[in-house]
Amino acid sequence: MENAVFTIIEKLVSSGKIFSANFTKADGTLRTMNCRVGVQKNLKGVGIKYDTRKAHNIIVFDMAADGYRTIKTDRLNWIQVQGKRYNFETL
């Protein structure tokens, strides 16, 4: 089931467009951010040392904070792409 959710999310955000994501942080607080995947700004060439898909993570670029963030797919509540909201709380 979790793999299906990850595939859905990947298809929705793979276009490189800016989207909104709402998720529960590790400390239990809710966070909504405007972000984008596929950004290659300020990369140091080191790369990620683990498989993000196996860890159920999506690496995004937070537009407001101007930095990279990791969103755990199991904590994701919804994403909004091009004005359409996809709710993951019910899956």
Residues 24-82 pLDDT 10s: 999 999 999 999 887 767 666 676 776 767 777 888 889 999 888 888 888 899 988 88
Q: What is the CATH number of the domain that holds 29?
A: 2.30.30.520
Q: Which residue shows structure tokens 């080191």?
A: 46
Compute, in degrees rounded to 10, the torsion defined by CA atoms 85, 2, 17, 48.
150
| Cα angle for residues 17, 22, 24 (degrees, 5° grid) | 140
Q: Which domain covers residue 49, as residue numbers?
A: 2-87
Residues β-bridged to residue 75: none
7 or 67, greater pLDDT: 67
Res 1: pLDDT: 47
Q: What is the number of domains present in the chain?
A: 1
